[in-house]
Amino acid sequence: MTLLRDQFILETRDLLQGISEKLMQLEDAPEHVELLESLFRMVHTLKGNSGLFDVPEMTRVLHACEDLMDAVRRRQVAYSEVLADRLLDAMDFVAMLCDGLEMEAEQADPHAQEAVQIASSLRQLIGEHAGVESAVGDLARIGDAQDRGAAIVAAPAAGQALPLRAIPEPLRRQAFAQAQAGGELHWIAYRPSRECFFQGDDPFHRAREVPGFIWGRIEAPAAWPPLAELNAYDCVLHFQIVAAASQAELMEYFRYVPDQVELTQLAAQWLAPAPESAERASAGAHAEPAQDPIDAVMAEIFAIQRQILQSEANMGWQDGRTQAVASTLMNCCRSIGNLELIGELEIARQQSLQLRSCDPLLAWLNANPLPLQRGPVASVASVASAEAGAEAAEAVAVEVRQESLPQPEALSRQEPPQVQPPAPPLRESLPEESGRAGRRAEESLSGNKSVKVEQVKIDRLMNLIGEMVVSKNALPYLAQRAEDQFGVRELAREIKAQYAVINRIAEEMQDAIMQVRMMPVSVVFQRFPRLVRDISRKLGKEVQLVLVGEETEADKNIIEALADPLIHIVRNSLDHGLEGPEQRRASGKPALGSLTISAAHEGDQVVIVIEDDGKGIDPALIKRKAYEKGLIDEAQLERISDQDAVNLVFSSGFSTAEVVSDLSGRGVGMDVVRNAVEKVNGSLALHSVSGKGTRLQISLPLSMAVTKVMIIESDGQLFGVPMEHVMETVRVPRSSLHFANSSAKMVLRGHILGLKGINQILGIAAEQKTNADGEVAVLVVRVGGQSVGLVIDDFRETVDVIQKPLLGILGGLSLYSGSALMGDGSVLMVLNTREMF
């Protein structure tokens, strides 16, 4: 079950995201037929999948969503903003239930009432727009009544709204006695869904097994459609039941279909027997006085003939039994003057003789329950089964309202004989939706070229290939030792040749596995249409969201780390950056603001740009706020540049909001963005023009699994520098270095470059060395838009390493981002270049 549940949760979240995307797209193209059909199929699939688990609240809400979307695609309900809001709220509710299912939380009653309210609000939209007599309209009215009656219905005045007089007198007296004794009695109106058969439901069985069942009947439609138009796969019958059970018992029993049930608690006085009935009861009369004696005799005859047909038969007297039963039934029809039934009975007799089977006669008996019609209007009577005919507690009344079609049988605890008609061809027997589902399943089985794999398995594979990449680095060391220490040059060449082959295979494997882990940034981008829509409406702003480069791919871990920072940035842009319509018009801008989020590959990095055309960032305001919060002093306030002031928004606890709200003003946001981006070795660059807009660029590595570093040497020690920060390597004469105010600088291509000695930064007492020509080695690195030259002793090669974080007491060494194991078994410390500025 755990695997099935995990698969369901994964697919549900994918479908929920797809539904939200389609709803956003429909707001721009509400008449798009393919979008409507696609959205309906997604909701239909999600509803079907939800039936696998004990979450009836989810199924109830999704069923209402499906009915609403069906009405929309049939053009019976217009797509509107209100409709989209309610559907999105419903999807949020389903997502909450999905989270609870993942955490194995109890889906208790608090969600049941909320589910009913959501389903009712969805069906209300159908009731307001759907055609009065259309099929969808009928579903809407039925669904609306179901949702309104999901809770306990208020008791009608004096019981006049309930046809309690239809209950047979003995059973009414039994119920009256139980009510007087303090027992709970309920009238149950059970209206199964039209599609209940396709949902694995058996409404007849459910009605018979109601706790405390006393009496029940089936209601047929007031007017049956013509036989050619009758859909045998639609359940159109309603059930009325009286049960001696508590509200809690009944709610628990009907917990999977509470929207199809209305409960009314019955008072004892409503069931009080009529005076004449009480007198007969005191005289010991137990039969129902209103029953026609002829009907009672006919019922007994029919029950006996049913027993004869159901008994085991010797084929030698099969035909004789058929003839005898048919003659008896024909005589009954003649005795009441109903000649129309004789023709039907004659056809059933001939079929039974031809097939040498009693099934056609049994089918006729089941299709013609007593009392048989004497005229165009049927009577109301109680029909008892053969075994329970003498048991008053098992008596069941059936009210029949029909013109010419067969009546439904009365509720009974005895299972009626089942007669299976010849099965129609499969494709003809399935309704349109079921047929489409079958075809989609066939297409899925034949055309599905993808396999879903757990993330942990891919991570393990990635770690193994990373270890292989590091292990292959040991081969050059072995080749060097073979040549230097043992003088075997031929062996050294063979090792180097083999290294080239292994290196090529390892790189191809690494690239292939990286492609498995790669995900498009659309996984994150697809959240923003809904986010922008909801926040902009809450703020009263008009915003157009433009997404560019959604197909750009990066490592899954990078994509996941990108989600929260981007959400913070988008919220800040909507709250602080973009103005309201009136303010934009006053500034000469269009009322509709623009927010663009783009992604692209630049070298071995993914660059995300978030740009708006709002009011931008005012450096003067930032300086004043930073000074008030103590982030800068008076001296810094005077000399800080506008760009440096703008970058202060990344300081912890900084906010320009005057009022604290659920969107901003708490001093968290942009510093969280900076920390999250730097945690995955990314960088930020913020540019803003007051009154024009703001542009924020996030640069992220393609992958975090394997890191390429340049090895540098200083005082005989080796260190690693991440290649994404390395700009270039140069050697310059020591005489070209300029020292001023305890700092060194050099001129590189006409620009002044600040210098820092690696020994000084790391606390190494040795002086930086020069080569034979008196030149110093300078490694130019760039972080966050700033460049600096690191003076080192020498450059080494670049290698691929798996960087491990420092743990324990070493974790406090901020100048190191981690360590890596080299091919010769030594440990390489990787420098954190951000801490060197």
| pLDDT computed for residue 128 by the predictor | 55
The CA-atom distances, in angstroms, between 401 and each of 4, 218, 245, 378, 412 are 47, 10, 29, 7, 19
Q: For residue 294, what pLDDT band results from cuts at 50, 70 and 90?
A: low
What DSSP assignment string belongs to 102-132?
Answer: HTT----HHHHHHHHHHHHHHHHHHHHHS-S
Q: What is the CATH number of domain 521-701?
A: 3.30.565.10
144 pLDDT more than 50 = no
| pLDDT computed for residue 385 by the predictor | 34
| pLDDT computed for residue 32 by the predictor | 83
| pLDDT computed for residue 371 by the predictor | 52
What DSSP assignment string belongs to 35-89?
Answer: HHHHHHHHHHHHHHHHTTSS-HHHHHHHHHHHHHHHHHHTTSS---HHHHHHHHH
Q: What is the CATH number of domain 707-836?
A: 2.40.50.180
For 106, phi then psi, to 5°, come to: -75, 125
Which of 136-140, 212-216, 439-443 reaches the highest mean pLDDT?
212-216
* Angle at CA of residue 753, ends 749 and 759, nearest 5°: 130
| pLDDT computed for residue 228 by the predictor | 83
Tell the residue number behind the tokens 């060097």, with chain if given. Answer: 480
| pLDDT computed for residue 721 by the predictor | 92
Structure tokens at 7: 């698969």
**Average pLDDT of the segment spanning 383-395:** 33
Structure tokens at 820: 């890596």
Cα separation of 692 and 487, whole Å? Answer: 70
Residues 6+ apart with CB under 8 A from 380: 166, 397, 398, 399, 400
| pLDDT computed for residue 174 by the predictor | 82
Q: For residue 778, what pLDDT band results from cuts at 50, 70 and 90?
A: very high
Q: Which residues pair with 719 in a beta bridge?
A: 712, 829
Residues 6+ apart with CB under 8 A from 263: 149, 152, 153, 186, 187, 188, 247, 250, 251
Structure tokens at 38: 């696609």
* Angle at CA of residue 229, ends 228 and 234, nearest 5°: 125
Residue type, 225: P
Find out if CATH 1.10.1040.10 is the number for domain 1-148.
no
Structure tokens at 219: 């209601």
Tell the residue number behind the tokens 């913070």, with chain if given. Answer: 568
Per-residue pLDDT of 780-826, as tens digits, reads 998 766 788 999 999 988 887 878 778 777 877 888 888 887 877 78
Least confident of 239-253, 413-427, 502-516: 413-427
Q: For residue 837, what pLDDT band results from cuts at 50, 70 and 90?
A: low
Cα dihedral sign, 348-353-358-359: negative
**Average pLDDT of the segment spanning 290-302:** 64
| Secondary structure class of 258 (helix, strand, coil) | helix
Range 715-719 contact pairs with CB under 8 angstroms and sequence separation of 24 or more: 715/759, 715/764, 715/766, 715/793, 717/764, 718/796, 718/826, 718/828, 719/758, 719/828, 719/829, 719/830, 719/831
Tell the residue number behind the tokens 């997404």, with chain if given. Answer: 547
**Average pLDDT of the segment spanning 6-29:** 83
Which of 345-359, 370-384, 466-480, 706-720 reaches the highest mean pLDDT?
706-720
Per-residue pLDDT of 764-774, as tens digits, reads 888 888 888 88
Buried b (16+ CB within 10 A) or exposed e, 212-250: bbbbbbbbbeeebeeeeeeeeebbbbbbbbbbbbbeebb
Least confident of 215-229, 489-503, 683-697: 215-229
Per-residue pLDDT of 101-128, as tens digits, reads 877 655 445 677 788 888 888 888 886 5
